[in-house]
Amino acid sequence: MQSNFNFLFYLKKPKGYVSGPVPIYLRITVDGQRTEMSVGRDCLPEKWNTQAGLASGTKEDIKALNAYLNILQAKIHQHHALLLAAGEPVTAEVLKNKVSGKTERGRSLVKIFQDHNNKIEALLNDEFAPGTLERYKTSLKHTIDFLKWKYNVSDIDIKKIDHAFVTEYEFYLRSVRKCNNNTAVKYIKNFGKIIRICIANGWLDKNPFVNYKAKVKEVERAYLVQEEIQAIVDKEFASERLNQVKDIFLFSCFTGLAYIDVKQLTLTNIGLGIDGGKWIFTNRQKTDSRSNIPLLPMAEDILNKYKQHPQCLNEGKLLPVLSNQKMNSYLKEIADLCEINKELTFHIARHTFATTVTLTNGVPIESVSKMLGHKNLRTTQHYAKILDRKVSDDMKILKDRLMHQNLNQSKAVIN
């Protein structure tokens, strides 16, 4: 890409200068950005031609000085042409380093990515959740695999990352890794954070994500309807472990808490709310946002049931929560035994709270959003779908109101 550049040799008098030779400096300007360097030579001011940027005279020392400056001029033009031919960025600093023989310290993508992950690991459980670290570790692995697949290298200079790199990376995720749309977008988004770090530090001149667009597709969120919740409530299992998983899942259905937030609940999270009843007061681990939830009777009964459970007493927790993997494994078995034709996972309980338990029963979406610990209403709309049944109930109220108005108008006409 073409760039406007010029350079100038000039004398730079030091502070307190009185007389004698003055150091010669080279100033390079590219697209309005300038830098300067000493050329390691000096000249008497009276022997210097400011307009020509050279020394004046015919003596051998003057000729030798001008020959040296001419060599530097040729070097500047040569390096400028080479940079343009290679399609590399031309800056005043790059040209200065080329002329002086200094090599610009390269910064590599994988090292920067790894440094980012190391910082997250150092702040684990304080500012970042374990899931965040795992997500970026996986993203780094995909990035390394892509570099090997596309360029047959283990790392790459960040200055070589451009729009084509990003689009090729996305293609790799979708084709080779077989990622679906939302998963591919998620990994590209994680990669984008590393690029933003590079830009913020001045290591990249241009954002390779300019003109790149990737959109997350809305996914149908599974949830349980009232009849399915009741089927689980009514079912008694022969296995004590299944009954335990059932209770904890139902607790989440009636509080909206995610798995990790249920697992971490202690007695300190229970207090009296504004209505004098028991509430849960907690901060969501995922977003650190406040989540205050009035305890519904079903949820309170489940807490009372496990007050003396050995695991709760030993760990100081309110519920004996198993690992997420085990919980989900047992939930699949519960779904089969209750004849629920859905892939039951623990997170479905949160969706169920947002839809069937709250919105369907007329709880305003603003209140649901606050209980879920969402920072904006758009997130709640994503999780808590307005059901056809709720729309039907709302429209029935409107129909009855309109019919009542029409009836009153008819009576008024008759009278």
Domain boundaries along the sequence of the chain: 5-100, 109-200, 226-384
Q: Specify the pLDDT at position 43.
A: 92
C-alpha–C-alpha distance, residues 357 and 299, integer Å: 12
Contacts 24+ apart (CB under 8 A), 388-397: 389/360, 390/359, 390/360
- Output 33 or 377, whichever has higher pLDDT: 33
Packing angle of the helix pair 130-151, 109-122 (nearest 10 deg): 170
Closest CA to 383 of 345, 346, 355: 355
Please report which residue ranges of 152-224 form alpha helices under DSSP H. Answer: 163-175, 181-200
pLDDT-derived band of residue 388, with 50, 70 and 90 as boundaries? low
- Calculate mean pLDDT across residues 393-405: 79
Q: How far is CA 212 from the centre of its chain?
A: 16
CA distance readout (Å), 179 to 169, 258, 273, 296, 337: 12, 25, 45, 40, 33
Where residue 414 falls among pLDDT bands split at 50, 70, 90? low
**Which CATH number describes the domain made up of 226-384?**
1.10.443.10
Phi and psi for 9 in degrees, rounded to 5? -95, 135
> Alpha-carbon Rg of the chain, whole angstroms?
35
* Residue 24 phi, psi dihedral angles, 5° rounding: -95, 135
Tokens of 412: 């008024």
> pTM for the full model?
0.59
What DSSP assignment string belongs to 40-94?
A: EEEE-GGGEETTTTEE---SHHHHHHHHHHHHHHHHHHHHHHHHHHHT----HHH
Strand, coil or helix: 124? strand
Start-to-end CA span in the chain (Å): 86
Structural tokens at position 270: 């229970």
Alpha helices in 87-162 (DSSP H): 92-100, 109-122, 130-151
Mean pLDDT of the 202-228 span:
85
The pLDDT, as a whole number, for residue 383 is 61
Question: What percent of the chain clears pLDDT 90, i.e. is strictly above it?
Answer: 58
Cβ(246)–Cβ(298) under 8 Å? no
The two three-digit tokens of residue 314, written as one number:
């030993």
State the Cα–Cα distance between residues 171 and 345, nearest whole angstrom: 31
- Of 344, 309, 315, 320, nearest to 251 by C-alpha is 320
> Which pLDDT does position 168 carry in this prediction?
95
Q: Which residues contact 91 (CB under 8 A, 6 or more apart)?
A: 30, 33, 205
Decide: 337 and 238 in contact? Cβ < 8 Å: no
- Helices and strands of the chain, counted as H and E runs: 16, 8
Name the residue with higher pLDDT: 32 or 10: 10
pLDDT average, residue stretch 29-55: 91
Lowest mean pLDDT among 26-30, 134-138, 375-379, 384-388: 384-388
Query: In the sheet that 290-294 helps form, which strands lie side by side, from edge to edge?
Result: 270-272, 278-283, 290-294
What CA–CA distance (Å, rounded) separates 406 from 120? 64
Cβ atoms of 72 and 41 within 8 Å: the answer is: no
More confident residue, 287 or 111: 111
**If DSSP codes are grouped into helix, strand and coil, which group holds residue 25?**
strand
Three-state SS sequence of 372-404? HCCCCHHHHHHHCCCCHHHHHHHHHHHHHHHHH
- CA–CA distance, 55 with 295 (Å, rounded to integer): 88
* Structure confidence by residue, pLDDT tens digits, 291-308: 889 999 999 999 999 999
Report the pLDDT value the prediction gives residue 410, as an integer from 0 to 100: 61
**Average pLDDT for 180-207:** 91
Structure tokens at 235: 């079912």
Phi-psi region of 34 (alpha: psi -120 to 50; beta: other; left: phi over 0): beta
Report how far residue 319's alpha carbon sits from residue 203's, in angstroms, rounded to the nearest whole number.
49
Judged on CB neighbours under 10 Å (0-12, 13-18, 19+), 154 is: exposed
Tokens of 347: 């997170």
Q: Which residue has the higher pLDDT, 250 or 127?
A: 250
